[in-house]
Amino acid sequence: MRRVLFATGVAAIGGFLFGYDTAVISGAIGSLRTFFRLEDAGQGLAAASAILGCIPGSMAAGFLSDRFGRKKTLFLCAVFYAVSAVWSAVPGSFAGFLLARFLGGLGVGVSSMVCPVYIAELAPEKIRGRLGALFQLGIVTGIFIVFFVNYRIQQLGDVDWNVRLGWRWMLGSETLPAAAFLGLLAFIPESPRWLALNGRGAEARAVLVSTAGADQAERELQAISRAAAGEEGRFGELFGPAYRRPLMIAVSLAIFCQLSGINAIMYYAPEVFKGAGISADAAFASSVWVGLVNLVFTFVAIGYVDRAGRRTLLVIGTAVQWISLAVVGAMFALRHSGLGLLAAILVYCASFAMAMGPIPWIVISEIFPGRIRGRAASVGVFMIWVVDNLVTWSFPTFRTLLGSAGTFWIYAGFSLLSMVYVLACLPETKGRTLEEIEASWRRA
């Protein structure tokens, strides 16, 4: 178990960098708007530039990880993170800044697909949900740390200093965790399921023996072999009758988790609070509370995802999301600010962190057949980033056209729809091996 925990922990650093890279822009976006003289559309593009890279990154990751292995693909995304962190801190122009952030987005897109799949393929079925939630824990830890880092950097100087230099330090601070991720990847094994499905049975057996014991290794290898016998290994198989339902589940969860508007808060947190009349310093401090609540309530998911199950947590979480977002919209409509608004936003973040934050990543990584798991999971992750990009890019414009109240009421409506979908369509997958889940689709 020590080796399993170490390997999954290293993979979770990919989630940390995911959260750090995507949320670091929240502290820099106000200064970037002034530095580059941006309008609403330009500000939205600056915030969404990394997300634009996530879209092709997530799609390419499926092919790369199925063809070359999960571990080598993770090395590639670590390089993207490191180069982007340095370049985005010293861009020669706004176009250069966008390109640097796009490169970091490629890293986010790759890690968002490969890390959950790698963890799912290495983890024992009884704790696969908890270990899978480590990826989300990495994301929210990265978000919390970068909110705190941004807050501390913002305090180092006045407004003019932040416009000239502060945002550069914020973006460049990602270099250290990116370098650590790159170094630690050398010490983790390749996915045993990927090895077994690619004719490297001896290596797969060695990894399984070291992580599960000799007897369990033989049982898992036999189960992988039986499952592989029922697969064609073609991407088109995903659209056949056996796997049409898991494909629709993956795509639907991907869309609903983003249309709740979580990243409108994560990427624009200081701007949201300043829009409610809160001072700049207090707005940055409130962002730290958002990150902390997000982190703490991810432990609820870790504790209960394998006990209560994926479905139960999602129903509870989306119900609370719906109510809290409706309250946030009402607060803006009535021009309330301060602790009431902060409390409503924190309740929303808590409900998202315990359910709709981690569980779509877990479900997408465990419901597809082994030979095409990478490419199939990339479809769901691709949809996450497409919708994330739409939400991130549109938020400044929506807030101008509809006001903050109308924008958050739209997010509340989508949260209600997601609760209805989970109740009607999502089966439970806790406690079942990947091969058992795969067989259940063929039987159905």
What are the residue ranges of helices labelled H in 334-358?
339-351
Query: By the 8 A CB rule, do 55 and 389 touch?
Result: yes
3-state secondary structure of 19: helix
Query: Cα(101)–Cα(40) distance, rounded to whole angstroms?
Result: 18
Q: pLDDT tens across 396-408, in order?
A: 888 888 888 899 9
Q: Give residue 385's pLDDT.
A: 84
Quick: pLDDT tens for 192-228: 888 988 888 899 889 888 887 888 888 888 887 877 7
Q: Look up residue 163 and give its DSSP letter.
A: I
Q: How far is CA 427 from CA 106, 136, 309, 322, 354, in A?
A: 32, 21, 10, 22, 18
**Cβ neighbourhood burial of 72 (10 Å; 0-12, 13-18, 19+):** middle
Who contacts 343 (Cβ-Cβ below 8 Å, separation ≥6)? none
**What is the CATH classification number for the domain harbouring 215?**
1.20.1250.20
CA 400 to CA 381: how far, in whole Å?
29
CA distances to 32, 111, 121, 219, 381 from 118, in Å: 36, 10, 5, 20, 14
Q: Cα separation of 149 and 287, whole Å?
A: 11
Domain housing 298: 2-443
**Centroid of chain to Cα 60:** 17
| 45 backbone φψ class: left, alpha, beta (φ>0; ψ -120 to 50) | alpha
Average pLDDT of the chain is 87
Q: How confident is the model at residue 248 (pLDDT cuts 50, 70, 90)?
A: very high
**Does the pLDDT at position 186 exceed 70?**
yes
- The pLDDT value given to residue 217: 81
Q: Which residues contact 95 (CB under 8 A, 6 or more apart)?
A: none
Name the 3-class secondary structure at 123.
coil
Residue 351: predicted pLDDT? 95
In 3D space, the residue among 213, 263, 222, 217 whose CA is nearest the CA of residue 390 turns out to be 263
> Among the listed ranges 292-296, 308-312, 356-360, which one has the minimum average pLDDT value?
292-296
Percent of the chain with pLDDT over 70: 93
Count of structural domains within the chain: 1
- Looking at per-residue pLDDT, the higher value among 284 and 341 belongs to 341
Q: Tell me how long the chain is.
A: 444
Long-range CB contacts for residues 96-104, cutoff 8 Å, separation at least 24:
97/32, 97/36, 97/46, 97/49, 98/45, 98/46, 98/49, 101/25, 101/46, 101/49, 101/50, 101/53, 102/49, 102/50, 102/52, 102/53, 103/53, 104/21, 104/50, 104/53, 104/80, 104/174
Q: What is the pLDDT of residues 85-137, one digit of tens each?
A: 999 999 888 999 999 999 999 999 999 899 999 998 888 888 888 888 899 89
